[in-house]
Structure 1
Amino acid sequence: MPDLLVLLPDFALIVCGYLICRYTLLDRPVWDGTERLVYYLLFPALLFNAIVRNPLNPGTALTFGGAGVAVVGAGIVLAYALRAVPGVNAHLHASGAQTAFRFNSYVGLALAERLAGAQGLAWQALLVSLCVPLCNIAAVWPLARAGGHGYLRELARNPLILATVAGLAANLAGLQLPEIASITLNRIGGAALPLGLMAVGAGLRFGALREGPGLAAALMVIRHALLPALAIALALGLNLPVGQQAVLVAFAALPTASSAYVLATRMGGHGSYVAGLVTVSTLIGMFGLPTALAVLGMLR
């Protein structure tokens, strides 16, 4: 199936969320509750279960996982560097910097399974387990500094970090969940992807980007041009297996995390500006992600 068609079901859910929120009685208040449900329960359950069910291979973690961490690390460095550019608004930067390096795991997990089956899902789970803590730590830092929040307290309360750390600890300890617990977590986590994707669509908005268009453009260039280019170079330079190459490049080209809006709002950041960035990133990702995979295919 062509890459664009592989992505179509996931982006169709985003469009459904947008239409339902705008044109039915299931408007914004419904989706505010849905976002909290996904962020605090469904998605942590999905992360924990995916990590526990897929044993980590040290060789894979060092090469493939290291490439993913390198991509995210480059995004963090580039996003933070924008703060030194003359004229950049500190409040907007503290809120929006996270959109340059965070990634939409809802789309990523759904896509990885379509690209490389169950093994692709395991590879994506590895990237999520390694990169979610790094992304969330880097996202919380500028917001905590700008808003006067306790940095360590915010990290300790972040549900995605807690679920990832718990999953890694259980995985490394060789914990096997009882069947009833595994099935229950699987069903809870299964609701995260469709609801998360629809919540992304429900939150699409543009207006506040007028307050910092230059910063927004720079963040999107990092997210959708520089990081995919780096991932392609790493995938080919490290001579990764074909399936891993596709998952890594797709990971680097993902739209930014929809939960960036929730985090910015909860920590006193400029929520509407971040919502605009998430919207633009989602729309760019619809075309940029299959483009990045097509470039990878041509360069192999």
Structure 2
Amino acid sequence: MNAVASALIPIFGVIVLGWALRRSGLVRKELWLGVNTLSYQALLPALLFSTISRADYAGLPAGPFLIAVTLGFLVMGVICLALKPLPVDGPAYTSLFQGGVRWNGFVLLALAASAFGAEGGALAALVFAPTVPLINVMCVVVLTLWGASDVKPDARRVAMRIVTNPLIIACLLGALANALGLFQTGPVADTAALAGRAALPLILMAIGAGLDFSALKARPQLLSLSISLKLILAPLVFIVLGRMFGVEGVPLMLLAAIGSTPGAAASYVLASELGGDTRLMAGHVTATTLLAFLAMPFWIWVAGL
């Protein structure tokens, strides 16, 4: 068993634990919202700040890597837009679009350090800064145009949500601290590191708690297409772009991992708010979470050839 598969087993084990806790009723359904909020607003930002602020980026291809990542999501957005002529209703199309471009960065963070070492963990943390605003803008625009909701998002409100996003702020502060040599050791660094260690287990359990197997029956043909976009086409796009920009070794394998991560639970929330097909979105997140256990090791292996 290779290192990637070995690293994925405990990750998916914690996801299964979260599902079991919800199904058993040991942790009530309404409590998972608080777990998500705590992780997103405090614990994950602490992890990103701690990782980026103390990482050694000397010699790492951070520039080409981030360019390839950003272009990868843009290319997937263009490909998904090209599918608009398909004979599907607007809400279903928006969920197909989200399925093709949204990714679960939390699974990547959990995998990166254990499978790729400090280099992988440092680069994985950087990805959030450019991709969070880009993906949110693309998805909000598509849902605004083709979603079924009468509530259209205000551009200023969307911009404020991006500017005040705790993940982006943590990335920027971490990069600033890294550049200035601040908080490398001491109480602030130790506090951020300690809080950050609680982030990934809680987030992974929350992912498991949100799995909805009944949604796998919703629109099977569209679901198959959205899964193919996420777990077959996207990793191929990221690997090709990485090679075009001279990315190789661990950073290229990390690009493959980004492309083949499962769908993000946030896509279901956005579909609920702006009139997407929530059942299709729930099915996509559930199916890709399960199938990523096979897809991620395969595409990482391809990138390492």
* TM-score, scaled relative to structure 2: 0.85
Alignment of 1:1-300 (within 5 A): 2=2, 3-54=4-55, 60-85=61-86, 87-145=87-145, 146=147, 147=149, 148-158=152-162, 161-165=165-169, 167-168=171-172, 171-172=175-176, 174-175=179-180, 176-177=182-183, 179-208=186-215, 210-297=217-304, 300=305
Distance 2:287 2:65 in 1: 29
1:273/1:38 CA distance change after superposition, 3 Å: farther
Shift in Å, 1:280: 0.7
Superposition RMSD in Å: 2.7
SS in 1 for 2:83: helix
SS in 2 for 1:84: coil
1:230/1:92 CA distance change after superposition, 3 Å: same
Q: Percent identity?
A: 33
Shift in Å, 1:210: 4.4
After TM superposition, the structure 1 stretch with the greater mean CA deviation from structure 2, 235-244 or 88-97, is: 235-244
**Contact 1:103–1:254 (CA under 8 A) maintained in structure 2:** yes
Distance 2:286 2:90 in 1: 21
**Contact 1:76–1:138 (CA under 8 A) maintained in structure 2:** yes
Shift in Å, 1:21: 0.9
**Contact 2:103–2:263 (CA under 8 A) maintained in structure 1:** yes
More helix by percentage: 1
Distance 1:212 1:257 in 2: 19
Shift in Å, 1:169: 5.8
Distance 1:143 1:37 in 2: 27
Query: 1:26 is aligned with what amino acid?
Result: V
Task: List per-residue Cα deviations over 1:30-60 (Å, max 9, x = no partner).
Answer: 2222223223332333334434444766982
Distance 2:34 2:89 in 1: 31
Shift in Å, 1:278: 0.5
**Contact 2:95–2:281 (CA under 8 A) maintained in structure 1:** yes
The alignment covers a number of residue pairs equal to 297
Q: Which runs of 5+ in 2 are unaligned?
A: none
Shift in Å, 1:283: 1.0
1:158/1:37 CA distance change after superposition, 3 Å: farther
Q: Which runs of 5+ in 1 are unaligned?
A: none
Distance 1:103 1:241 in 2: 22
Shift in Å, 1:90: 0.7
Shift in Å, 1:111: 1.0
**Contact 2:211–2:285 (CA under 8 A) maintained in structure 1:** yes
Query: 1:79 is aligned with what amino acid?
Result: C
**Contact 2:64–2:246 (CA under 8 A) maintained in structure 1:** no
Shift in Å, 1:205: 0.9
**Contact 1:115–1:247 (CA under 8 A) maintained in structure 2:** no
